[in-house]
C-alpha cells in the first residue's frame, strides 16, 4: 500500500501512455487532451507557486463518466487532480506528480431548485456567478461569494467563504449534501437533503476543505436564502486601522446583524479609486451592507453610524440605491486585481490569517507596521467581522531576493495569527503553500489523524497527492523563508 505522504512518485512514460490509452478508449481520443496549452492552463492556480503540469486533461460530462475516469486512474494508480476554475491561491491544482487533471467545468447544470425547501442541487462545475444569475429571478440567493468566479465544487473543496459570511456562514454552514466519487470509483451521497441529521459521521464536512485529496465532488446541494426585501450599503472612513477594527468589534457586540463588513486599508482604497474610477477618501475604510425590511435596514444603518462616530468614523454614507450598492461591491471584489495594477508585472503573494475578533485590531496594526518597516508593497483587506484578513503583497516572482522577503513576511504573519489563537488560513486553504504550518497549528497527533483519514479513503494516494497533510513539509515543522 502506497503511503499517503509518498513524495515525487511519478508514473513512467509507458505507464502514463497506458493510462491515456484506457482514457481514450473510454472517452474517445479527442476528449483526452495533451496539448501544451491545455496542460499549461491546468498547471497552475492564481498563486505565485511554481507551475506543475498534468500529463492529460479530461472534462467529464456526468457523474457516471467522472466515476469511470476515476476508475481508470485508480486501476493504474495514476494521480488525479480535480480542477474547478483554478482560482485557488496555495498551489492547490499544481499536478506535483503529473497524472490526470479532471476539469469539472462541463458539469455545469443546475440540477434542481426547491423554493419550498430553500435548497438547490448543482453540478460541481457551476460557478458562483452562474448560480447567482439562475437564482436571482426566483427571489432567492446563495450567500457565499469569494472574490473570484469559482466553481461550487472548488468552493466546497477549499471551504470557501466571502463577504457575507459574517451573517450567513461559509461553505461549511451552507452545504447540505454532496455526491462524490471515491478513490475506488464508487458514487457516494454523503447525506440526505434534510435540514438536520444525526445519522452517523458527518461525511459532508469531511469533504469540505479536503482540496480534492479525498475524492471528486460531482454534485452539491446547497441552502439558499430568500432575497431580503431591502438591502442598503454604507461606507465610512476612520482615522486609523485600529479605530476601524474596534468599530467592527463594537458593532458585533451590539448584535447588529450586518450582512457584510469589510475593511480596506489606505493603499487598497487608493488602488480601487484608480482601478474602478471611484473617489473614496484615502483612509482606512469600512464597506458595510444591511439586509432586512426597509425599516430594519434603516435602523441598522443608524445604529451602526452612531457606533462608527464614537470610534472616530467620518463621512458615514449609506444608500439603498441598487446600482450604487452593486458598484461598491464590484469594486471591493476587484480588490485583488486593483492591488496588482499598482505594480504591473509583479506576482501577488496573499496571506489569509484569521484570529478571534478580540485580537484582530492588534494583529492588523502589527501587520501594517511590519509591511512599512520592511518597505513591502502590500494592501490589507479584511473580512473583519470574521476576524479574517488578507495582505496582497506584490513581489517580483523572478527575483529570488524579493520572493524570499515576501516569504519571510508571510511566515511572520502566520506566526502572529497563531500566537493570537488564530489560524494560518481562514478561507484559502492549505494546498502545498501552507502545509509547513499544519503541525504548528494543530499539533502532530491531529495531523496524523488527517493522514489516517487520507489513508483510509485513498490508500494509493491518487487524489491530489502532495497537498495538505500529504505535502513534503506538512507537519515536519519546516519554515518557509
Ligand atoms: C481575486 C481572488 C479573490 C478570492 N477571494 C476569495 C474569497 O473571498 N474567499 C475565498 O474563500 N477564496 C477566495 N479566493 C480563492 C478561490 O477563489 C477559492 O479558493 C475558490 O473556492 C476556488 O475555487 P475554484 O473553482 O477556482 O477551485 P480550483 O482552484 O480549481 O481548485 C481548488 C481546490 O479544490 C479542488 N477541487 C476543485 N474542484 C473540485 C471538485 N469538483 N471535487 C474535488 N476537489 C475539487 C482542487 O483539486 C484544488 O485542490 C480568491 C481568489 C482570487 C484569485
CA of 282 to the centre of ligand 1 (A): 31
**What confidence tens digit (pLDDT) does each residue in 3-15 have?**
334 445 789 999 9
- Residue 40 confidence (pLDDT): 98
| DSSP string for 32-51 | SB--HHHHHHTS--SSSSPP
Residue 478 confidence (pLDDT): 38
C-alpha gyration radius of the chain: 22
What confidence score (pLDDT) does residue 4 get?
Answer: 36
- pLDDT at residue number 8: 57
DSSP three-state, residue 67: helix
Q: What is the DSSP letter of 375?
A: T
Using a 10 angstrom Cβ sphere, with 0-12 exposed, 13-18 middle and 19 or more buried, the burial of residue 45 is buried
- How far apart are alpha carbons 264 and 270 in whole angstroms? 10
∠ CA 18-22-24, nearest 5°, is 115
Query: Is the predicted pLDDT of residue 474 greater than 80, yes or no?
Result: no
For a mutational test of ligand 1's pocket, the pick from 89, 148, 463, i.e. the residue with the most ligand atoms closer than 8 A to its C-beta, is 148
CA of 38 to the centre of ligand 1 (A): 19
The per-residue pLDDT for 397 is 83
Tally the C-alpha atoms within 13 A of residue 177's C-alpha that lie toward its C-beta. Answer: 15
The pLDDT of residue 134 is 98
Whether the per-residue pLDDT at 146 is higher than 80: the answer is yes
Cell 423554493 found at: 115
Strands (E), 407-455: none
Return d(Cα 125, Cα 153) in angstroms, integer: 6
Neighbours of 270 (CB within 10 A): 17
CA distance 208 to 173: 10
What pTM was estimated for this model as a whole? 0.94
CA distance 12 to 77: 12
Length of the chain: 481
The residue whose grid cell reads 487598497 is 268
How do residues 360-372 score in pLDDT, each as one tens digit? 999 999 999 999 9
Cα–ligand 1 centroid distance for 323 (angstroms): 28
470, 464, 469: which is closest to 81 by C-alpha? 464
Express each pLDDT in 197-255 by its tens digit.
999 999 999 999 999 999 999 999 999 999 999 999 999 999 999 999 999 999 999 99
pLDDT at 475: 52
The Å distance, Cα 236 to ligand 1 centre, comes to 30
Residues with CB under 6 A from ligand 1: 45-46, 81-89, 92-93, 104, 124, 146-148, 150-151, 153-155, 157-158, 160-162, 211-212, 216-217, 336, 427-428, 464
CA of 358 from ligand 1 middle (Å) equals 28
pLDDT digits (tens, 9 = 90+) for 461-472: 999 999 999 887
Residues 379-384 have a mean pLDDT of 93
Amino acid at each position: 500500500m502506497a503511503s499517503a505522504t509518498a513524495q515525487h512518485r511519478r508514473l513512467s512514460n509507458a505507464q502514463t501512455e497506458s493510462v491515456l490509452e484506457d482514457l481514450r478508449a473510454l472517452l474517445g481520443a479527442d476528449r483526452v487532451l495533451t496539448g501544451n496549452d491545455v496542460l499549461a492552463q491546468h498547471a497552475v492556480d492564481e498563486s505565485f507557486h511554481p507551475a506543475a503540469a498534468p500529463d492529460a486533461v479530461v472534462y467529464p460530462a456526468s457523474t457516471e463518466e467522472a466515476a469511470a475516469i476515476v476508475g481508470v486512474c485508480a486501476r493504474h494508480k495514476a494521480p488525479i487532480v480535480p480542477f474547478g476554475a483554478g482560482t485557488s491561491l496555495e498551489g492547490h491544482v499544481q499536478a506535483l506528480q503529473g497524472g490526470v487533471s479532471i476539469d469539472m467545468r462541463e458539469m455545469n447544470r443546475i440540477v434542481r431548485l426547491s423554493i419550498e425547501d430553500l435548497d438547490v442541487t448543482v453540478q460541481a462545475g457551476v460557478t458562483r456567478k452562474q448560480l447567482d444569475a439562475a437564482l436571482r429571478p426566483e427571489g432567492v440567493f446563495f450567500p457565499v461569494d469569494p472574490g473570484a468566479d469559482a466553481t461550487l465544487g472548488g468552493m466546497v473543496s477549499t471551504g470557501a467563504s466571502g463577504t457575507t459570511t459574517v451573517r450567513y456562514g461559509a461553505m461549511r454552514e451552507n452545504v447540505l449534501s454532496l455526491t462524490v466519487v471515491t478513490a475506488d470509483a464508487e458514487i457516494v451521497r454523503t447525506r440526505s437533503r434534510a435540514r438536520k441529521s444525526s445519522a452517523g459521521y458527518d461525511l459532508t464536512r469531511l469533504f469540505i476543505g479536503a482540496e480534492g485529496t479525498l475524492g471528486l465532488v460531482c454534485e452539491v446541494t446547497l441552502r439558499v436564502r430568500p432575497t431580503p426585501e431591502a438591502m442598503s450599503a454604507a461606507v465610512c472612513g476612520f482615522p486609523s486601522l485600529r479605530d476601524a477594527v474596534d468599530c467592527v468589534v463594537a458593532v458585533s457586540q451590539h448584535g447588529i446583524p450586518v450582512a457584510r463588513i469589510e475593511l480596506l486599508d489606505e493603499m487598497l482604497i487608493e488602488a480601487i479609486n484608480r482601478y474602478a474610477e471611484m473617489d473614496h477618501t484615502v483612509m482606512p475604510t469600512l464597506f458595510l451592507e444591511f439586509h432586512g425590511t426597509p425599516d430594519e435596514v434603516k435602523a441598522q444603518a443608524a445604529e451602526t453610524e452612531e457606533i462608527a462616530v464614537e470610534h472616530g468614523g467620518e463621512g458615514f454614507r449609506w444608500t439603498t440605491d441598487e446600482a450604487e450598492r452593486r458598484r461598491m461591491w464590484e469594486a471591493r471584489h476587484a480588490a485583488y486585481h486593483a492591488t496588482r495594477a499598482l505594480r504591473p508585472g509583479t506576482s501577488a503573494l496573499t496571506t489569509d490569517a484569521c484570529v478571534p475578533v478580540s485580537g484582530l485590531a492588534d494583529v492588523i496594526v502589527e501587520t501594517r507596521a511590519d509591511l512599512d518597516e520592511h518597505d513591502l508593497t502590500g494592501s490589507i483587506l479584511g473580512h473583519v467581522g470574521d476576524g479574517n484578513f488578507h495582505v496582497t503583497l506584490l513581489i517580483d516572482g523572478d527575483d529570488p531576493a524579493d520572493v524570499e522577503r515576501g516569504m519571510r513576511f508571510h511566515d511572520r504573519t502566520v506566526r502572529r495569527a497563531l500566537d493570537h489563537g488564530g489560524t494560518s488560513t481562514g478561507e484559502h486553504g492549505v494546498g502545498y503553500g501552507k502545509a509547513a504550518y499544519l503541525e504548528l497549528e494543530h499539533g502532530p497527533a491531529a495531523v496524523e489523524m488527517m493522514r489516517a483519514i487520507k489513508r483510509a479513503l485513498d490508500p494509493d494516494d491518487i487524489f491530489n497527492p502532495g497537498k495538505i497533510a500529504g505535502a513534503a513539509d506538512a507537519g515536519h515543522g519546516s519554515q518557509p523563508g
